[in-house]
Structure 1
């Protein structure tokens, strides 16, 4: 009888342990630590220790990315060439003409200014080459009487077909219309000092030292009609 009771007690105990084990497995609260097993696995260790990849400048939108997105170039020389369609400065060299061309100016010429009786109200400028090389009289003279604040205009239909070149000892000419013959000019004044400026290889550029030819003691009268011809090789063409 005692043996039978002992067997029943063991059987009940076994059923209870089985039920307890089954309940623990279903609830996840058993003796096995699932989290510890995962943290100790090779894959979990790799994920934790591996640093986050750094983003490239293009991804972060930094300096490198902005330069790429905007199409900019780190080479300013290359940019200048691209903008000009070729080598930088090449166009300016072509416009300037031959680099060995000597420009006539106040340092290698002598300039005189002489009022003439005909045509009326005109003055003749004469420039003589005093140097040892041929020089070029470019475009037209730039005149300034005393402290005049404006520049006389050129008479466009007097422009010659070729640049006026002066051999050593040779002369070039320009005519100056001082005032309107019909009295239509305004702002009349008398000039006592004249400065003649010379142009360079390009229009309105500086051709070098100016000249200061003497004027008659009484001065010369001019008004708003004041204008000049282009440099000519012939005196008559300058006064025509």
Structure 2
């Protein structure tokens, strides 16, 4: 009968535990970090990268500003609000353009453009597909008759702004006024371009 010392028994037990641990390790599945990517995963990653690249390229290629060279403008008389007109700009080109900021208006031989109504700035730029229109409301005079330098205006020039509103794009267009003339004073203003006529006449 073989009798092992307590110390030898402890060493034997420790050895058995180590062997068992190695066996369990060998049975464990490969971790996600060491697993080889499948063809499906690789294709999905490539598609995501391609989509991201396209999105970045689209963001850089801004929609060109609507230009006086490819737009048609008309002025409509409205019943409400009083002393207001509606400016309609239609894209006559074959490409989408952006109606940036507000139109530059010049009544007769005015030395400066009509003031913009700041509160009318839309949340997003109005994009015009071919044949579509943008709208701007024009207040011509004070409703109470207290405006200064009041006079009849017979000509209205319209120019389109660049994206930063630091200058115009294309040529100036002449818009025919309803009835051939309109009463204006120094309270006149124009709204920013809107996608709907009703939005242009809120102010």
* TM, length-normalised to structure 1: 0.57
Residue 147 of structure 1 deviates from its aligned partner by 0.8
Distance in 2, Cα, partners of 1:146 & 1:234: 27
Q: Is the 8 A contact 1:174 1:238 kept in 2?
A: yes
Higher helix share: 1
Name which of 149, 152, 160 aligns with 1:198. 160
Alignment of 1:210-225 (within 5 A): 210-225=172-187
**Which structure ranks higher in relative contact order (CA pairs < 8 Å, sequence separation ≥ 6)?**
2
- Cα deviation, 1:162-195, whole Å, max 9, x if unaligned, reads 1111011111000000001011211001111110
Alignment of 1:121-160 (within 5 A): 121-160=83-122
Query: Bigger radius of gyration, 1 or 2?
Result: 1
Aligned length: 144
- Cα deviation, 1:63-101, whole Å, max 9, x if unaligned, reads xxxxxxxxxxxxxxxxxxxxxxxxxxxxxxxxxx84553
**Tell me, which stretches of 5 or more residues in structure 2 are unaligned?**
1-58
Distance in 1, Cα, partners of 2:62 & 2:176: 31
Tell whether 2:95 aligns with 1:161: no
Name which of 103, 112, 116 aligns with 2:65. 103
Distance in 2, Cα, partners of 1:99 & 1:209: 23
For 1:113, the equivalent position in structure 2 comes to: 75
CA RMSD, aligned part only?
Answer: 1.5
Residue 102 of structure 1 deviates from its aligned partner by 2.0
Alignment of 1:6-155 (within 5 A): 98=60, 101-155=63-117
* TM, length-normalised to structure 2: 0.67
Q: Is the 8 A contact 1:142 1:151 kept in 2?
A: yes
For 1:178, the equivalent position in structure 2 comes to: 140
**Tell me, which stretches of 5 or more residues in structure 1 are unaligned?**
1-96
